Amino acid sequence: MVDKDVETEVSAYDSAIFGLSDRGYVPAAMKWLGTMLKSRLKPQKKTFDSLVQCLSKADRLSDALFVYDKRDGTSYVKPKNGTTTIVVNEQ
């Protein structure tokens, strides 16, 4: 059984990262993700995907690949029947 306090903390981090990414606040979203990972908390897949999309739109492809690699190397909370979407902004 998952500790309710840990579940709440993960949810708070996920919400912050997702919201910052959605609004284009790349540095803040990256900082929150770093703090979350250092705390050994497991982000949800949608959190990683949102940040990868945000980084790609900002032409920060090396950062997007770094986050994508972290997602694949982390035991994140895995939703059933999930998909991965990557957006690459080519000019």
Per residue in 6-37, pLDDT tens?
566 888 899 999 899 888 898 999 999 888 88
Determine the residue type at 28: A
What's the pLDDT band for 71 if we cut at 50, 70, 90?
Answer: confident
Which pLDDT belongs to residue 7? Answer: 62
Mean pLDDT (the chain, rounded): 76
| pTM, to two decimals | 0.66
Q: Indicate the SS3 state at residue 84.
A: coil
pLDDT higher than 80, residue 89: no
Q: Residue 76 gets which letter from DSSP?
A: -
Alpha helix stretches (DSSP H) within 1-91: 4-22, 26-38, 45-57, 61-73
Q: By three-state DSSP, how is residue 44 classified? A: strand
Q: What are the backbone angles phi and psi of residue 52, rounded to the nearest 5°?
A: -60, -45
Rounded to whole angstroms, how far apart are CA atoms 57 and 12? 24
